[in-house]
């Protein structure tokens, strides 16, 4: 859906001051599925730490007013592996879950963000997000009052497992209208704070889910899906590093 259609659908526009664009990178995970003593955000990806690759990708694609990185309070790697960087605030506010890390970082940003400012939450573990997808997200949502996220339509056939007989198919699910959520997820700061202030919000597995719950109360409209990219993989297992490195190399060659 185009930005024009969204405007016609009731989105807001014409704020006096242009909203700021703040990147928030949750990077407080221990990476248990990654299975390494070094959390995955610090893993070597073609000679540079994964988190740094992610930060550089966002900075190369977008005109960011600020970047905040949510780190575990006991993180002992950031200072030596990434180190101080212009325009980047390292917030040692990570929580037990991704949602908690994001909610804590939003609270920490309180003095620096107005309700209309945009917060672009992006997983440290997605270093390959294409520049054009990032710009599309920001362009398509620019005049919206709430926000949305990058996502891709489900391409594979979906099988429901029979819980009583693991690995046996119960049925095939209808995939029409289903999308896989990615990051960045870009929302107005005030919307995100209100969404995460609600009971149960910390159980959300992404920001959009928390905003959807807020929208269900009538407090705001529902988030938008903006077409992302299959290249925007999330590094989850050690084997994903080689795939991410290959994608980055192909992107760098094409640039
Ligand atoms: O573990 P997973 O890949 O789903 O984590 C997604 C992102 O959320 C990662 O960048 C990870 O560092 C971050 N995270 C966090 N705080 C947690 C758990 C995950 O910031 N407690």
Whats the size of the chain, residue-wise?
255
* Residue numbers of the domain that contains 187: 3-149+179-254
pLDDT of 10 reads 40
Single out the residue of 20, 16, 211 nearest to residue 114, CA to CA. Answer: 20
Does the residue 247 lie in any domain? yes
pLDDT of 17 reads 82
pLDDT of 108 reads 97
- Written as six digits, the tokens of 34 are 């990654």
Name the residue at shortest CA distance from atom 19 of ligand 1: 29
pLDDT of 30 reads 84
Q: How far apart are CA 253 and CA 193, in angstroms?
A: 40
Contact 251, 128 (CB under 8 A): yes
Q: Which atom of ligand 1 is nearest to the CA of 124?
A: 10
To test the pocket of ligand 1, the residue of 23, 25, 29 to mutate (highest count of ligand atoms within 8 Å of its CB) is 29
Name the residue at shortest CA distance from atom 3 of ligand 1: 236
To test the pocket of ligand 1, the residue of 28, 34, 184 to mutate (highest count of ligand atoms within 8 Å of its CB) is 28
Question: What CATH number has the domain bearing residue 136?
Answer: 3.90.550.10
Q: Read off the pTM.
A: 0.93
Does the residue 162 lie in any domain? no
Q: Provide the percentage of residues in the chain whose pLDDT is more than 70.
A: 94
Q: Tell whether ligand 1 has an atom less than 6 A from the beta carbon of residue 92.
A: no
Does the residue 65 lie in any domain? yes
Q: How far apart are CA 185 and CA 169, in angstroms?
A: 33
Helix, strand and coil percent figures for the chain, each rounded to 5? 35, 20, 45
Residues of the chain with pLDDT under 70: 1-15
Does the residue 197 lie in any domain? yes
pLDDT of 187 reads 98
Our count of domains for the chain comes to 1
Number of helices and strands (H, E) in the chain?
8, 11
pLDDT of 110 reads 94
Does the residue 74 lie in any domain? yes
pLDDT of 9 reads 41
Does the residue 8 lie in any domain? yes
Does the residue 225 lie in any domain? yes
Does the residue 160 lie in any domain? no
Q: Which atom of ligand 1 is nearest to the CA of 102?
A: 20
pLDDT of 221 reads 98
């Amino acid at each position: 859906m185009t930005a024009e259609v969204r405007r016609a659908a009731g989105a807001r526009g014409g704020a006096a001051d242009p909203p700021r664009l703040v990147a928030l990178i949750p990077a407080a995970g221990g990476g248990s599925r990654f299975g390494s003593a070094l959390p995955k955000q610090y893993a070597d990806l073609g000679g540079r730490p994964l988190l740094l690759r992610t930060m550089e990708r966002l900075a190369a694609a977008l005109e960011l007013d600020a970047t905040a990185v949510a780190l575990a309070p006991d993180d002992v790697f950031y200072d030596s592996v990434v180190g101080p960087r212009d325009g980047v605030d390292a917030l040692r506010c990570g929580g037990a879950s991704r949602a908690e890390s994001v909610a804590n970082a939003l609270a920490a940003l309180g003095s620096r963000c107005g309700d209309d400012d945009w917060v672009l939450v992006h997983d440290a573990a997605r270093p390959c997000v294409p520049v054009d997808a990032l710009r599309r997200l920001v362009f398509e949502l620019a005049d919206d009052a709430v926000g949305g996220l990058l996502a891709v339509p489900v391409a594979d056939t979906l099988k429901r497992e029979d819980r009583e007989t693991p690995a046996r198919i119960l049925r095939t699910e209808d995939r029409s209208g289903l999308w896989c959520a990615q990051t960045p997820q870009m929302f107005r700061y005030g919307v995100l704070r209100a969404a995460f202030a609600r009971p149960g919000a910390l159980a959300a597995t992404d920001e959009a889910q928390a905003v959807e719950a807020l929208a269900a109360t009538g407090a705001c409209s529902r988030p938008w899906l903006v077409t992302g990219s299959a290249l925007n993989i999330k590094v989850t297992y050690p084997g994903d590093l080689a795939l991410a490195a290959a994608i980055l190399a192909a992107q760098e060659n094409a640039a």
